[in-house]
Amino acid sequence: MLLAGAVAISVLGHLHVGFALTGAPPRGADRYAAGLACAALLAHLAVRFRAPYADPLLLPIAFLLNGLGLVLIQRLDATTPHHLAAADQLRWSGLGVALFVVAAAVLRDHRALQRYAYLAVAAGLVLMLVPVFFPPVNGAHIWIRFAGLSFQPGEFAKILLAVFFAAYLAANRTALALTGRRLFWRLRLLPGRVLGPVLAIWLLSVGMLVLERDLGTSLLFFGLFVIMLFTATGRTGWIAIGLALAALGAYAVGTLEPHVHSRVEDWLHPLASIERGEGPGQLAQSLFAFGAGGLLGAGLGHGQSFLIGFAAKSDFILATAGEELGLAGLTAILLLYGILVHRGFRAGLALRDPFGRLLATGLASIIALQVFGIAGGVTGLIPLTGMAMPFLAQGGSSVVTNWIIVALLVRLSDCARRPLPDEGAEGRG
Amino acid sequence: MIRHIRWCAWFCALLLAALLVNAARVQVWEAAAYRDNPANKRAAVERWARPRGDILVEGRPVTGSRDSRQLLRWERTYADGPLYAPVTGFASQTYGTSLLERAEDALLAGTDPGLTAFPVWYDLARGRPDGGNAETTLVAAVQQAGYTALEGKRGAVAALEPLTGRILALVSSPSYDPGELSGTGTAVTAAWTRLNEDPARPMLNRALHETYPPGSTFKVVTAAAALDAGVVTDVDAPTRTPDPYPLPGTRTLLPNAASGCEDASMADAVRWSCNTVMARIGVRVGLRGMAEAARRFGFNDAGLRVPAWVSRSNFDTDMSPDQLALSAIGQFNTKATPLQMARVAAAVASGGELPAPYLVERATRADGTQIRTGGRSGGSGRAMTPSTALRLQELMVGAVEDGTARNAAFAGAVVGGKTGTAQHGVGNAGTPYAWFIGWAKAEDEPLPGVAVAVVVEDASGDRGDISGNGAAAPIARAVMEAALRAGP
């Protein structure tokens, strides 16, 4: 039912954009609706048969967000006739759903992933390293261009690193929590033998990202690392150290690196470029868009968020949602993410194996941090870091990655809620 | 571990709460500030998102809109731009609006609350009714007659219907095409620069915004003041004025251009335009009487709107007697817009009522239903008594029949007029301004149908021709003929 609702909302949005912009339904709307419904049905059947106990909210929310993203991109396409993105995004979404179905069908038990922890980390590092050898796009070495398609392999690396962190921390949890020299009070230094590989990989990934100038992803990895370490060891001291390190790193990067420094300046004074007579910057345009939306929004197709220009469909997609759907629509979207993250954490709580718990926490945190990073960035709450709004933003690798995350969450929640004959129905769901 | 996952979940909930609070801050609290930021193009995009309402002359639009397919989508177009530019003004996406486009902007752009019966609904739905139309009082034939007769010389024509104040023609020359300024881009900025740097100042609306010394045409006001004040009771009685006339308190002698002004009556003084007689009458009326009469005729009023604003015409209220003498013949600091002098002629023609001139007859919605009408009943008050107006009508008819204004006469009409040749510039070295004010009554009509004022700045050619009768009266005749032919 919920899934049908999600599909219906997406199709209605699609039609609405067509009517608002041209006064006629968009061409091929019937095929669009049928395709979306087929994809939803396939995904539903996959879950129904391969993960019958999975959380029933995950798939509909993912579909709704993906559908809304397609609607918004299609709407922005109308203002950039020479740079259409909706069709590509639709293809990538199809691929994402297909991978979702495959993952749900093939992966019977998430614990199987635990065995591939080192393979995952190796693959993740390679994926992050490869784009360095490709020409930069918009100042960032995060793209691979191949046969006319472009990928952002760093997106996939997120999952791989989460899997590795979960597996490694689950295996060395006891050692991490209980050994090590005591510094003072409850703060204990972790044993280098255990922590070494984790730190090394983390430093490597962050270093690489700084080299590739992808601030958003590096911050995401850092946050993910701190959260998973805290969850695994339960040491509040690590939070303090993590935050201190983060603050220090942010300060250093913010003052030294000009690219980041300008982002911070933009955040502190979003309207400064107007006063200098250079016209509104991206963040100012984004704030204008949100402001123009007001409580109820201008209505789909009636806003002017395209004034943002560059990255309106990717990083700043939320500004279009804010302008055309208003605070009401924006709140609804953010709450959808909230429910998605909440369901992830609930699966983590209900699972009994440490690896599953850590993985669920990690995946939910990836979504939460990403949403906070980009939504906070475009609304001027925090400095802008290049992250993709999960499911909404234009970007093939991101959509596919998010579908895999949802597939993993479906699998994890299925395990969490599956009644165990030998242990009784402990997982409360 | 369970506890820590819960903590993480709470932390994420905190982040979500921060996002929502911040979104509300941006979208509700700061929304108005962002909306009003001049760098925010949304207002402009919305403003030009639909065709603007039109300005109509005799039911035919003289404006239009063109789909530019740019961000600011609909650009203004003008049919006959230079002819109507002194009325329409421009509506530019780069330089704002002027004249009627400015004064009726709310109507034309669709923001006037009168355009819809349900303004609250439009506010809620964020829609905007289609722009309304402004139907002007202009008569195309009269406008065209004035524009053609000026032949591109620097000058202006203002023609009114004396009883109602309807503006029949408002011509300024040389003119420009406001369509050149409509859009955005380098062509528009280049046109703007070129028009502003043009020494002929084509964008200056000479009929409304330029004030000229009215010269001898002001003698009509002086004569009215004298009659109303009782300083002159018999217009045909000799005034015992010397020629030349020594300005009071000085040794300066005021000469006459005309001959036979010594001891002339006021009737002859108007007919032959005797400076000496009228200057002395002005002095005899006195500063307070003259200033009061000028005020009643509409001078020193900075608040006139037609509905585009009109420059203030000046008559000094604090002067020495010699300055008053010069002011009484339309020199010194006396300045008037052509529209103001047309009102003076109209006041005489209408029997003493000063008309309130107006340009917009009706404001309608896009579908043609009327939302308001123009014009002010009762005009701007009484400029002189009806008997004074009757006397002045006779004097002005005399000036046309066998005085200085003979070139204004045409068949089938009774025409009253007064010429003027105003000195200006340092030491009066500038080419004099040629003036004519007057009115015309079709022979079979009981009341005058048109009052007109014409000023020509640079009557080229032979200097003897630079006079009200030579340069301005023929233009006025063409305009008045066109107005009477077009009928009420």
Q: Which residues contact B243 (CB under 8 A, 6 or more apart)?
A: B255, B256, B261, B262, B263, B274, B276
User: In A, which residues are within 8 Å of B7 by CB distance?
Assistant: 230
Q: What is the ipTM of this complex?
A: 0.87
B225 assigned to some structural domain: yes
Beta-carbon separation of A232 and B8 below 8 A: no
A424 assigned to some structural domain: no
What CATH number does residue B401 fall under?
3.40.710.10
Of the pLDDT bands very low, low, confident and very high (cuts 50, 70, 90), residue B125 is: low
Q: Is the pLDDT of residue B122 over 70?
A: no
- Predicted local confidence at residue A220, as pLDDT: 84
Q: Is the pLDDT of residue B465 over 50?
A: no
B95 assigned to some structural domain: no
- Residue A302 at interface with chain B, using a CB cutoff of 8 Å: yes
- Predicted local confidence at residue A424, as pLDDT: 44
A227 assigned to some structural domain: yes
A411 assigned to some structural domain: yes
- Predicted local confidence at residue B365, as pLDDT: 87
Overall number of domains in chain B: 1
Q: Which domain holds residue A149?
A: 2-417
Q: Which domain holds residue B394?
A: 215-365+374-486
- Predicted local confidence at residue B177, as pLDDT: 93
B409 assigned to some structural domain: yes
Which of B26, B28, B39 has its CB closest to that of A279?
Answer: B39
- Predicted local confidence at residue B123, as pLDDT: 61
A335 assigned to some structural domain: yes
Beta-carbon separation of B35 and A292 below 8 A: yes
Of the pLDDT bands very low, low, confident and very high (cuts 50, 70, 90), residue B32 is: confident
B65 assigned to some structural domain: no
User: In B, which residues are within 8 Å of A295 by CB distance?
Assistant: 27-28
Overall number of domains in chain A: 1
Q: What is the overall mean pLDDT for chain B? A: 85
Interface test with A, best of B2, B4, B36, B73 (most A CBs within 10 A): B4
- Predicted local confidence at residue A117, as pLDDT: 83
> How far B69 CA lies from chain A's nearest CA (Å)?
11
Beta-carbon separation of A287 and B30 below 8 A: yes
Beta-carbon separation of B5 and A284 below 8 A: no
Beta-carbon separation of B22 and A376 below 8 A: yes
- Residue A246 at interface with chain B, using a CB cutoff of 8 Å: no
- Residue A283 at interface with chain B, using a CB cutoff of 8 Å: no
Give the count of Cβ contacts less than 8 A between chain A and B. 140
- Predicted local confidence at residue A364, as pLDDT: 94
A429 assigned to some structural domain: no
Q: Is the pLDDT of residue B341 over 60?
A: yes
Whole-prediction pTM: 0.72
B interface with A, Cβ–Cβ < 8 A, is 1-9, 11-13, 15-16, 18-20, 22-24, 26-28, 30-35, 37-42, 45-46, 126
Tens-digit pLDDT profile for residues A194-221: 667 667 766 776 676 667 667 777 778 8
- Predicted local confidence at residue B260, as pLDDT: 76
Beta-carbon separation of B34 and A371 below 8 A: no
Which helix or strand (DSSP H or E) is residue A373 part of? helix A354-378
B310 assigned to some structural domain: yes
> How far A228 CA lies from chain B's nearest CA (Å)?
9
Beta-carbon separation of A231 and B23 below 8 A: no
**Averaged over B353-357, what is the pLDDT?**
90
- Residue A382 at interface with chain B, using a CB cutoff of 8 Å: no
Q: Is the pLDDT of residue B352 over 70?
A: yes
Q: Which residues contact B441 (CB under 8 A, 6 or more apart)?
A: B349, B413, B414, B415, B447, B448, B449
- Predicted local confidence at residue B488, as pLDDT: 60
- Predicted local confidence at residue B127, as pLDDT: 65
B341 assigned to some structural domain: yes
| Residues of chain A where predicted confidence (pLDDT) is lower than 50 | 424-429
User: In B, which residues are within 8 Å of A326 by CB distance?
Assistant: 27
Tens-digit pLDDT profile for residues B160-209: 999 888 999 999 988 999 999 988 888 899 999 999 998 888 999 999 99
- Predicted local confidence at residue A1, as pLDDT: 65
User: In A, which residues are within 8 Å of B33 by CB distance?
Assistant: 291
Tens-digit pLDDT profile for residues B233-272: 888 888 888 778 888 888 888 887 777 788 888 888 888 8
